[in-house]
Amino acid sequence: MSTINISIIIPAYNAEKYISETIESILSQSMQSFEIIVINDGSQDRTQEIVEGYRDKNPDKIRIFYQKNQGQSAARNNALEYVRGKYIAFIDADDKVADWYLEELYNASEKEDADISVCAYQKFDTDTGEITLKRYTEDWNVEFRPGYNHVFQYSPCARLCKTSFVKKYGFRFSAGEQLEDGPYCMMIDLLSSRTVIINKIGYYYRVYQDSVMGNVRKGKKRPKVPYKGIESAIKKVKENTNDKIVLDMLEFCTVKILTGLVTNMYKNCNQQIRKEICKYCYYIIHKYFPDINRNPFIKLRCLDKLPYQHRVAVKLFVIAYRIRMIYPFSTFVAILLRLQEKFSRGKA
């Protein structure tokens, strides 16, 4: 058997429309020492047939495993059992990667002996091909203290993770929830001994007008808030480090995630769901961060690489927590964001 440097995990559910593009972009990589692990998550279309066709042509590179439909996170978790490579890459079944993607991330990790390597990415509209977002890694590589950086790029894709690092800490995704990528990436980045970045676009996300999360954000579907994922991530970091700076970073990053949930991500949810999320925020801060007011990073003059509006939102969230006003705060900000969107659409 040839050397396997990278195990690529692809969770696939009813992915017949785009999975061929995904696999083709992987097979055309400049670096060929990889395996593809496809977890068929109970697909009811031609996903299995399509992937088997590629497997039959590339039996040394592609393995397929089937599970009853449990969701993307469960598929990723289950795939870890089959990993044979030194590094792990997650690629979604409808996305694409640049032909240098694996090689450059691998070389960067090897050169720096890094637990994680991360590259930039862009999103494109599946119907129009229009690029809707470009996110450069360096812009979100924030220094908290000299030697203490955190990459605010909360997707398990567009990165490699050392397999031994993942297994050492037993990292897992929170199955059955949405937006679980945020706490997962917060957790692994905070426990990484070294993270290196490549500041060029190597990963291409496909965006749908009628996606599940899109409908959640529009208030058309009930969200599966990552309650378990956030708490599990906090516990994992606290159990594995006593470094005061890392714990302060954990506190800031958690509050930033909570701020995003109660303001932007679920700005169109109903009153009951908003109150439920706000109640959870009180629970998390009271239980894990009782001294949140003393956090040295929750200040407008700190972390100036983060957009100013992000720092303001976090600061206001903490003030709202202190005076027991998270729900009114979240409602007010959500109204402002909805009005901003409406105004932007009107101008367009």
User: Could you give all domains of the chain from N- to C-terminal order, each with its CATH number?
Assistant: 6-217 (3.90.550.10), 242-347 (no CATH)
Give mean pLDDT, residues 65-69: 96
Q: Would the pLDDT of 53 be above 80?
A: yes
Lowest mean per-residue pLDDT among 18-22, 29-33, 335-339: 335-339
Whether residue 205 is predicted with pLDDT greater than 90 in this model: the reply is yes
Q: Note the pLDDT of residue 3.
A: 87
Q: Which residues pair with 36 in a beta bridge?
A: 8, 62
Confidence of residue 333 (pLDDT cuts 50, 70, 90): confident
Query: Is residue 23 predicted with pLDDT exceeding 90?
Result: yes
Beta carbons of 249 and 214 less than 8 angstroms apart: no
Count CB atoms within 10 A of the CB of residue 314: 25
Mean pLDDT of 34-60: 97
Mean pLDDT of the 241-256 span: 98
Closest among 96, 105, 119, 95 to 34, alpha carbons compared: 105
pLDDT above 60: residue 348: no
User: What residues contact residue 147 under an 8 Å CB cut-off, 6+ apart?
Assistant: none
221: left (phi over 0), alpha (psi -120 to 50) or beta: beta
C-alpha separations of 151 from 66, 196, 222 in Å? 33, 9, 29
Mean pLDDT estimate for the chain: 92
Q: What is the percent of the chain where pLDDT is above 90?
A: 82
What pLDDT, on a 0 to 100 scale, did the predictor assign at position 56? 97
Judge whether residue 217 has pLDDT over 60: no
Whole-number percent of the chain with pLDDT over 70: 94
- pLDDT tens column, 273-297: 999 999 999 999 999 999 999 999 9
Does residue 215 surpass a pLDDT of 50?
Answer: no
What is the structure's pLDDT at 16? 96
Please compute the mean of the pLDDT values over residues 313-323 and round it to a whole number: 95
What pLDDT band is residue 129 in, cutting at 50, 70 and 90?
Answer: confident
Q: Looking up tokens 């396997």, which residue turns up?
A: 4
Of 142, 218, 150, 144, nearest to 182 by C-alpha is 150
Query: pLDDT for 72-121, tens place per residue?
Result: 999 999 999 999 999 999 999 999 999 999 999 999 999 999 999 999 99
Mean pLDDT of the 149-176 span: 96
**H/E segment holding residue 103:** helix 101-112
Q: Which residue has the tokens 């042509």?
A: 57
Residue 5's pLDDT band, with cuts at 50, 70 and 90, is very high
- Residue 267 — pLDDT band, cuts 50, 70, 90? confident
Task: Report the pLDDT averaged over residues 235-260.
Answer: 97
Under a CB-based contact definition with an 8 Å cutoff, are residues 237 and 187 in contact? yes
Q: Compute the average pLDDT of residues 226-242.
A: 97
Task: Give pLDDT, residue 334.
Answer: 82
Question: Is the confidence at residue 244, as pLDDT, over 50?
Answer: yes
Token pair, residue 85, equals 């490579």
